[in-house]
Amino acid sequence: MAKNRSVAVLFGVLLVGGCGTYVPAMQELGENPGAYSEFSPSGDLEFKIRAKVYCDIVDAVIAARGEGVLPTGWAVQVTLDLQVDETGSLNPGVTFIDPLAGSQSFSIGVGGVLSSTATREDKYGSYWDLDRLQSRTGNPCRSKGEQVAGSSLLLSELGVTEWLIDSLKGRDFLPSSAGMKGDPFFKQDFLSYHIKFVVVSSGGITPTWKLVRLSTGNGGLPLVGAGRTRSHDLLLTFGPTFKAGAPNLAISSHAAQDFGIAVSNSVRNGARTFAPPQ
């Protein structure tokens, strides 16, 4: 029985300790491919997310057009950023014990920390002319109400339709200035919608042995730790269609926000690199 427990502990240590030393998978452990079996497991999850986002936009456009609030000549810029960070740490700690006379003893502890982090980031950008988004026919959208299974929270209800209609109605109550005739900087309203999901999971294993002259598991950190963080960002920017040579505030704002998201993710990742999983 003791031998079996030791083997189980060793297997767990090896399994957990491997995190951060290979390219992380985008899907979660045990997640199987769904309807799009021609993709790999990671590709299947990402395509389901991309299709879900597209279909939500189509539904929002059709609903806004039905409400009579969607202007013609508008488009949507989309950026989908899927990032996974895996961290593994090894924190050995040993105490050497020297028994002295009577019940006294002298001990000295030795420890160290070794950690590694692996990051994978898959990013997709799309641009769609809203005047061409007429119906669900001919695209990968499922029937309304049908749930898409997957580990990403972006596969849940995103609220794009409600937000778009409310924002366009608000635009009608607060119209931009018409400006001077021929001035391209006026009438450049745009609407931006940013969703971020961050899911963090971590764990550790600390087997302990206590012998007469030696003991382990005396450190403040687990012997082997592992952490996984999934950051899924979706940025939608609606505004006038792009025209070559003309300024477009929607495109400029989208690029600036996209840059800000990248900086924010980098700062967060840097903070995790110097904090081994507990």
Of 259, 236, 257, 207, the C-alpha closest to 93 is 207
pLDDT tens string 12-36: 444 445 666 788 888 888 777 665 5
Distance of alpha carbon 135 from alpha carbon 127, whole angstroms: 17
Q: Which two tokens stand for residue 29?
A: 């452990």
Is 16 in contact with 226 (CB distance < 8 Å)?
Answer: yes
Q: Which two tokens stand for residue 26?
A: 């985008």
Supply the range of the domain harboring residue 198: 2-273
Residue 278 covered by a domain: no
pLDDT tens string 138-166: 667 777 666 777 889 999 999 999 999 99
Which of 183 and 25 is assigned the larger pLDDT?
A: 25
| pLDDT given for residue 11 in this prediction | 44
| pLDDT given for residue 10 in this prediction | 45
pLDDT tens string 118-138: 989 999 999 999 999 887 776
Q: Which two tokens stand for residue 4?
A: 């079996």
pLDDT tens string 237-248: 999 888 777 777
Percentage above 70 pLDDT, the chain: 78
Residue 81 covered by a domain: yes
- Confidence band of 7 (pLDDT split at 50, 70, 90): very low
Mean pLDDT on 264-274: 64
pLDDT tens string 185-199: 456 788 999 999 999
- Confidence band of 50 (pLDDT split at 50, 70, 90): very high
Considering the entire predicted model, what is its pTM? 0.76
User: Which residue type sits at 242?
Assistant: F
Distance of alpha carbon 216 from alpha carbon 223, whole angstroms: 9
Residue 162 covered by a domain: yes
pLDDT tens string 202-222: 888 877 777 767 777 666 677
Residue 123's contacts (CB-CB under 8 Å, 6 or more residues apart) are: 79, 80, 81, 82
pLDDT over 80 (residue 6): no
- Total count of domains within the chain: 1
